[in-house]
Chain A
């Protein structure tokens, strides 16, 4: 029944297991199919026959969403914010991981535990002072006010994942490069970064997703409508037009689409990188 049951050819236990597993798969897939399906229907149809396929495919919810709000602008804002957060986490994360795994210095243990503590801080515990400082600098509504705290918040994760990978990497390449006369910076750019690529991909995906999905920082820092990133803008639409079910469905679909594309292209890195860090850590 449990592990490695070799004689399971359609034994009753095997059937039950398969049924349960399939049912759970239905719960994860069905809601999203439901919402995409309903995004192509007028609202009355969503209310009455949400399980049926659309009687006729209408794009009006989408044109409506784009007309009511400047969604393209919101995608652009999201891309700027989350793209920058991603790049900062990749680069600074790799640099910190390199410094932490290759150098010995006093206070290393302190920095090490600070990095791990960084994983535990919820946004709430820091967002109010950060908000005040951003306001003091006049940076509210500017993408940078979201980028900096999000990058700082995700950097611990990036550093921890990359440190785990670098620790297991033999020094041979680096030593021979050193003997050829390469300095630390050159070793980092020419040897470490290329070797780190798979882990950096994991960091990139997660820091992008977490930044794109993090509602709290977006809501707090950005108050100007035209500067809102996608998630915050769509929440705004839903609070204003919450009774327009068709519009809501299309909004949800629109938040999900970019993420889905990323997920299916890069899922190998998402799942592998995550388990490498979590199981060993």
Chain B
């Protein structure tokens, strides 16, 4: 019958899978092995003997103050992303869904920063934050205030997080809005009869029905925050000032490509993936438990 022959199947699957094995799965395995050896060069030098150091890099991570800063910043960013990025997106989606018209307009406008490269957004915010004649300081000047050093050690983390969070609000907004619009109209009508209006509808109808969508978005947002690199690197490369704005991604890049600690960089990469998998698993577990509890009610 149709689709019984196996030969065409291989033909269809092979090219894509080979590409992914060669450039995704194998390198990932190789990367884990790298982290167990002493490596100072990106490229293997002929005749060079590799020195096995086991878990030394991972022990070094635990003691490294800069790594701790980067890890702490990344975790802080993950929390901010969940609270602000998803929070604002959900709020905006609820607001827009209450309008009869203009859904398309808001979708187009809010989604817009996502297609712009983070490099461009980073450079743009660099112009905003500049001490001499940056946009923000011009505003302050107009209002008769002293200029502020926006990228000072105290402010830098916040000022870098703002564009990171702002730029992806539209992504989750679009997903949430679609989810809300898919809630059947009868539910609203029925709830209205029961005297459930406004925010009560949000709490009793929208949020429970969107549980899966929210779960997916949480995973995306948390793993997204974990991968951040371009934007901080464009605004404040090398964790400037004083390594205070390092995230795991920028720290890894600096260690590997400007300092040459390739093995150490590989260990960081593995830790990033590990945190990502753990976070995603935890979120998934919480949300499956939530829906199970609901089923048993």
A46 within 8 A of B: yes
Name the residue in B3, B197, B198, B249 with the highest tally of chain A Cβ atoms < 10 Å from its Cβ. Answer: B3
A8 within 8 A of B: yes
Whether the pair B230, A31 counts as a contact (CB closer than 8 A) is no
Nearest CB on B from A201, distance (A): 15
The 8 A CB mask of B141-169 against A (1 = contact, 0 = none) is: 00000000000000000000000001001
Q: Which residues of B contact A251 (CB under 8 A)?
A: 123
Instruction: Give 19 pairs: A residue, B residue, CB < 8 Å, sorted on A.
Output: A2-B206, A21-B92, A21-B99, A24-B88, A28-B112, A103-B3, A122-B269, A122-B276, A125-B272, A125-B273, A126-B23, A128-B42, A148-B22, A251-B123, A252-B127, A255-B116, A256-B120, A259-B115, A278-B217
Q: Which residues of A contact B3 (CB under 8 A)?
A: 102-104, 184
Could you tell me the distance between the alpha carbons of A279 and B181 in the complex, rounded to whole angstroms? 11
Please provide the chain A residues from 1 to 24 with a CB less than 8 Å away from any CB of chain B in the complex.
Answer: 1-5, 8, 14, 17-18, 20-21, 24
Q: Which residues of A contact B26 (CB under 8 A)?
A: 129
A128-B256 contact given A17-B95, A159-B16, CB 8 Å threshold: yes
* Stretch from B54-62, B64-72, B79-87, B132-140 that touches the partner: B132-140
Whether the pair A231, B117 counts as a contact (CB closer than 8 A) is yes
Which of A98, A105, A184, A234 contacts B119, CB < 8 Å?
Answer: A234
List 7 A-B pairs, minimum CB-CB distance, nearest first. A47-B133, A213-B117, A152-B23, A99-B12, A184-B8, A92-B16, A126-B27
Which of A28, A46, A270 contacts B110, CB < 8 Å?
Answer: A28
Could you tell me the distance between the alpha carbons of A151 and B21 in the complex, rounded to whole angstroms? 12
Q: Which residues of A contact B133 (CB under 8 A)?
A: 46-48, 50, 245
For the A-B complex, the count of residue pairs with Cβ-Cβ distances under 8 Å equals: 297
Whether the pair B202, A2 counts as a contact (CB closer than 8 A) is yes
Closest to A20 in B: B95
Q: Which residues of A contact B9 (CB under 8 A)?
A: 99, 103, 105, 184
Whether the pair B25, A27 counts as a contact (CB closer than 8 A) is no
Q: Which residues of B contact A239 (CB under 8 A)?
A: 237
Could you tell me the distance between the alpha carbons of A133 and B23 in the complex, rounded to whole angstroms? 10
Q: Which residues of B contact A234 (CB under 8 A)?
A: 119-120, 123
Q: Which residues of A contact B27 (CB under 8 A)?
A: 125-130, 133
Q: Which residues of B contact A20 (CB under 8 A)?
A: 92, 95
Which of A88, A159, A171 contacts B2, CB < 8 Å?
Answer: A171
A152-B22 contact given A3-B94, A129-B31, A209-B115, CB 8 Å threshold: yes
B107 within 8 A of A: yes
Whether the pair B98, A5 counts as a contact (CB closer than 8 A) is yes
A71 within 8 A of B: no
Q: A51-B135, A99-B12, A274-B174 are in contact. List 12 more A-B contacts (CB 8 A).
A: A27-B166, A38-B127, A46-B133, A95-B12, A95-B13, A103-B12, A124-B253, A128-B256, A184-B5, A255-B117, A270-B111, A279-B179
A215-B119 contact given A2-B94, A48-B133, CB 8 Å threshold: yes
Could you tell me the distance between the alpha carbons of A83 and B145 in the complex, rounded to whole angstroms? 49
Closest to A187 in B: B2
B190 within 8 A of A: no
Which of A5, A130, A214, A263 contacts B115, CB < 8 Å?
Answer: A263
Whether the pair B13, A3 counts as a contact (CB closer than 8 A) is no
The 8 A CB mask of B249-283 against A (1 = contact, 0 = none) is: 10011001100001001101110110011001000
Whether the pair B272, A267 counts as a contact (CB closer than 8 A) is no
Closest to B273 in A: A125
A96 within 8 A of B: yes
Whether the pair B249, A124 counts as a contact (CB closer than 8 A) is yes
Please provide the chain B residues from 1 to 33 with a CB less than 8 Å away from any CB of chain A in the complex.
Answer: 1-3, 5-6, 8-9, 11-13, 15-17, 19-20, 22-28, 30-31
Could you tell me the dominant secondary structure of chain A's interface residues? helix
Whether the pair A21, B96 counts as a contact (CB closer than 8 A) is yes
Could you tell me the distance between the alpha carbons of A99 and B112 in the complex, rounded to whole angstroms? 34
Whether the pair A35, B19 counts as a contact (CB closer than 8 A) is no
Q: Which residues of A contact B202 (CB under 8 A)?
A: 2-3
Whether the pair B43, A118 counts as a contact (CB closer than 8 A) is no
Could you tell me the distance between the alpha carbons of A252 and B113 in the complex, rounded to whole angstroms? 13
Nearest CB on B from A94, distance (A): 9
B118 within 8 A of A: yes
Please provide the chain A residues from 227 to 281 with a CB less than 8 Å away from any CB of chain B in the complex.
Answer: 231, 234-235, 238-239, 242, 245, 248-249, 251-252, 255-256, 259-260, 262-263, 267, 270-271, 274-275, 278-279, 281
Nearest CB on B from A17, distance (A): 5
Whether the pair B98, A29 counts as a contact (CB closer than 8 A) is no
Which of A50, A98, A155, A215 contacts B138, CB < 8 Å?
Answer: A50
Could you tell me the distance between the alpha carbons of A115 and B24 in the complex, rounded to whole angstroms? 11
Could you tell me the distance between the alpha carbons of A263 and B115 in the complex, rounded to whole angstroms? 7
Could you tell me the distance between the alpha carbons of A34 and B138 in the complex, rounded to whole angstroms? 13
Please provide the chain B residues from 181 to 232 with a CB less than 8 Å away from any CB of chain A in the complex.
Answer: 182-183, 185, 188, 197-199, 201-202, 205-206, 213, 216-217, 220, 223, 226-227, 229-230
B106 within 8 A of A: yes
